[in-house]
Chain A
């Protein structure tokens, strides 16, 4: 996160921070399951505000501004900026309510009206400062006895990035009224200031009061997923399913987990369930296609991908779909189809780093060193968080005797994925060369 003044410690202990996820005991490694830029495992479900955001200034500048990644890189979450779009639209008859003209003190006295007014300002106008002013006047007017205003104050503080103040308000509101919502908000604050373990603690308190509440259970599962503790994440998602067997997020995340732990057949069952529930989109068919292929249900595979491509509305999804078709082609040993598919992935999304890397591998198999090198380099530029293009480049350079490049790339690869044995081995050998006097 950039320009973030809410950071407390620069380096947290592994497993206690969402920024530095643990290596994950018993979870599939980065060599099996792709990771996001922050080094977390790819999730099975996209939620507002959880999609990858660039971590450093360099990454932010380098990151291509596609529809999926063009997020503001300041502390303010991307979602709120989007929600505000309603206020961007000017009404031909002028604004419905002219905020600067309102006398907040007057309205704060009239509780019922004030609540409606607050919601209008906060949600429709997206004017957090005025909303905050109204809320603080109103809470004073009722002698700090109405939990509702405290929650609203907390929401305002949260949006303004005043997390400690938000925490106070939510905690105080909880004293008046035990409500799931308030617990959820409070945990959101803790997640935001990177205290996932405290958040889990609070969620668990909420569970004692509201056993079986799926929103709370999901919250816990999400945090474990973010911490790369997939066994625990799956445990809680399964519990969610116990109470609500049509919970899309839980099904999707469990399925993803099964797929990347060598059980595509089970993943397929879960995705089929989503299909039965009426989910019908490009992502689901793409995943069904992959699962079918790896579960050896070949007759269905191409059908699924075909449908996925037909349903796709944006280029980035089509690109991912072609990328996966490329993998199917590799699986049946059809190198030409694989090459064409990866090419198409790049045509749809010029920044598809994985496709570049795989094209490099294919070129190398044909003995085209220079092309391979160029592809690996493109992949490195686009995805500096991966290890594959760096390792491949290092191995290639090592073969032709360019030990300097090999050294630098192997180093990068080891940094990005410390457990990769081949990278380690190569790096060890190179270091010998370099430290000999």
Chain B
């Protein structure tokens, strides 16, 4: 007993809980560590994102250009 100033230590159970039987239960999916990305991969993803953005903008510009030539594309019903 480590204590000396007239105090007592608690009495802890010696056995703990034991199992006599294994009853199958449902299974959980386990926690998932995330894969770290390599610098190359991160760069590639960034490049791709930027490129896609630019392409989108270019397309938009083109549409606008065409739109200004041919008038607003969708303004109510088409005229006959």
Contact = CB atoms under 8 A, between A and B. Distances in A.
Check A-B contact in the complex, CB < 8 A.
yes
Interface stretch (A114-122, A145-153, A182-190, A284-292): A284-292
Interface residues of A, number: 62
Given A386-B29, A388-B28, A422-B24, A286 B47 contact: no
Nearest to B31: A327
Interface stretch (A41-49, A93-101, A156-164): A41-49
Contact of B30 (A34, A44, A281, A392): A34
Nearest to A291: B33
Contacts of B33: 42, 44, 255-256, 259-260, 286-287, 290
Interface string B2-46: 000000000000000000000010111111111111111100100
B74 to A, nearest CB: 26
B45 to A, nearest CB: 8
A239 B37 CA distance: 21
A286 B58 contact: no
B48 interface: yes
B64 interface: no
Interface in A71-113: 79, 82-83, 85-86, 88-90
A430 interface: no
Given A46-B35, A46-B36, A85 B48 contact: yes
Q: Which of B35, B37, B41 has the most CB of A within 10 A?
A: B35
Contact of B55 (A43, A88, A360, A379): A88
A227 B32 CA distance: 20
A425 B34 contact: no
Contacts of B34: 282-283, 286-287, 317, 320-321
B63 interface: no
Contacts of A391: 26-27
A44 B37 CA distance: 9
B51 A89 contact: yes
A268 to B, nearest CB: 12
Contacts of A34: 29-30, 32
A3 interface: no
A395 interface: yes
B24 A388 contact: no
B32 A43 contact: no
A289 B55 CA distance: 38
A79 B27 contact: no
Contact of A274 (B32, B36, B55, B58): B36
Contact of A283 (B30, B36, B47, B55): B36
The A interface, classified by DSSP as helix, strand, loop or mixed, is helix
Contact of B41 (A42, A46, A255, A317): A46
B52 interface: yes
A335 interface: no
B55 A357 contact: no
Interface in A349-367: 353-355, 357-358, 360-361, 364
Interface in A283-321: 283-284, 286-287, 290, 294, 317, 320-321
Nearest to A87: B51
B66 interface: no
Nearest to B39: A248
Contacts of B39: 248
A318 B55 CA distance: 27
A48 B34 CA distance: 15
A356 B50 CA distance: 33
A361 B26 contact: yes
Interface string A389-424: 001100110000000000000000000000000100
Nearest to A282: B34
Contacts of A426: 24
B29 A43 contact: no
B17 to A, nearest CB: 16
B60 to A, nearest CB: 14
A46 B37 contact: yes
Given A361-B26, A388-B28, 17 more contacts: A33-B30, A34-B32, A42-B32, A44-B36, A45-B35, A46-B38, A48-B41, A85-B52, A89-B58, A256-B35, A287-B36, A320-B32, A320-B34, A323-B32, A353-B29, A388-B27, A396-B26
24 contacts: A42-B33, A44-B33, A45-B36, A45-B38, A46-B38, A47-B41, A79-B44, A88-B55, A89-B58, A249-B38, A256-B33, A274-B36, A283-B34, A283-B37, A287-B34, A317-B34, A320-B32, A327-B31, A355-B29, A388-B28, A388-B29, A396-B26, A422-B27, A426-B24
Interface of B: 24, 26-41, 44, 47-48, 51-52, 54-55, 58
Closest 4 CB pairs of A and B: A354-B29, A85-B51, A46-B35, A283-B34
